[in-house]
């Protein structure tokens, strides 16, 4: 199973360390930040599968950040669990449209936290990632980064692999070049949008050898979509 990557944003170091320990023991990969600013830096490198976000943070609060992420196309499908203190905050969170997908109230047991995380991941289809991603004769080995089409091994560059993996795991949705850059290359990569076109062309050429190039569809004026159905 490929690892599920969780970003923890918590300003209190002892709690942050406790969360890291609990999550790592449950086999999650953990990255942690003390505030939103540091969390944004982490998001630039690679998007996590879930964000565990403390409500009370210095600077921007967790709840404000959750609302912001919800309205940003790059981040809007990352599930967020808000962490609150018992009392007032709890009532507010439960009654508000916070942008968070669930919340846990301190103090919570490790077991409760892991159960909540797994439930949210399942809801988002982000539970344990299968080692093999398969669609229509295309098989990606997520651990070894290998591709087979119609049982034949196919050479791919790491970028082309990530691009194909992103497409296959996000089918039937249109992504702009900017969104693809953010999601496949990462925000820290300052790459021109036409780089996306270059890699799409290469990927299509490879897929064409197997009669599958129509799976990557150009949506004029917007971007690209991966689909096993013709549109």
Can you give the binding site for Ca ion, defined by CB under 5 A?
11, 54, 56
Tokens of 57: 């943070």
Beta carbon of residue 24, minimum distance to Ca ion (angstroms, whole number): 21
Beta pairing, strands 132-135 & 138-141: antiparallel
Q: Which residue's CB atom is positioned nearest to Ca ion?
A: 56
**Cβ closest to Ca ion, residue 85 vs residue 208:** 85
Nearest of 22, 25, 127, 48 to residue 33 by alpha carbon: 48
**Cβ closest to Ca ion, residue 10 vs residue 101:** 10
How far apart are alpha carbons 183 and 181 in whole angstroms? 6
**Cβ closest to Ca ion, residue 84 vs residue 179:** 84
Tokens of 156: 């791919």
Beta carbon of residue 25, minimum distance to Ca ion (angstroms, whole number): 22
Tokens of 200: 């799409």
Beta carbon of residue 107, minimum distance to Ca ion (angstroms, whole number): 13
How far apart are alpha carbons 138 and 147 in whole angstroms? 7
Residue 12 sits at φ, ψ, to 5 deg, of -85, 115
Beta carbon of residue 83, minimum distance to Ca ion (angstroms, whole number): 8
**Cβ closest to Ca ion, residue 54 vs residue 160:** 54
**Cβ closest to Ca ion, residue 54 vs residue 89:** 54
Beta-bridge partner residues of 135: 138
Beta carbon of residue 110, minimum distance to Ca ion (angstroms, whole number): 19
């Amino acid at each position: 199973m490929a690892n599920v990557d969780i970003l923890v944003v918590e300003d209190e170091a002892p709690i942050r360390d406790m969360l890291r320990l609990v999550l790592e023991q449950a086999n999650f990969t953990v990255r942690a930040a003390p505030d939103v600013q540091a969390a944004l830096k982490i998001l630039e490198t690679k998007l996590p599968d879930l964000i565990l976000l403390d409500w009370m943070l210095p600077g921007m609060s967790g709840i404000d950040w959750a609302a912001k992420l919800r309205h940003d196309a790059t981040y809007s499908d990352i599930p967020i669990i808000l962490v609150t203190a018992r009392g007032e905050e709890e009532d507010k969170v439960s009654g508000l449209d916070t942008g968070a997908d669930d919340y846990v109230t301190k103090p919570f047991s490790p077991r409760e936290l892991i159960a909540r995380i797994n439930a949210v991941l399942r809801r988002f289809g982000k539970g344990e990632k299968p080692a093999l991603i398969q669609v229509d004769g295309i098989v990606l080995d997520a651990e070894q980064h290998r591709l087979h089409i119609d049982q034949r091994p196919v050479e791919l560059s790491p970028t082309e692999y990530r691009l194909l993996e992103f497409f296959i795991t996000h089918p039937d949705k249109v992504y702009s070049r900017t969104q693809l850059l953010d999601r496949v290359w990462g925000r820290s990569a300052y790459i021109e949008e036409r780089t996306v076109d270059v890699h799409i062309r290469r990927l299509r050429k490879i897929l064409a050898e197997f009669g599958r190039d129509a799976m990557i569809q150009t949506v004029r004026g917007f971007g690209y979509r991966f689909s096993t159905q013709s549109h």
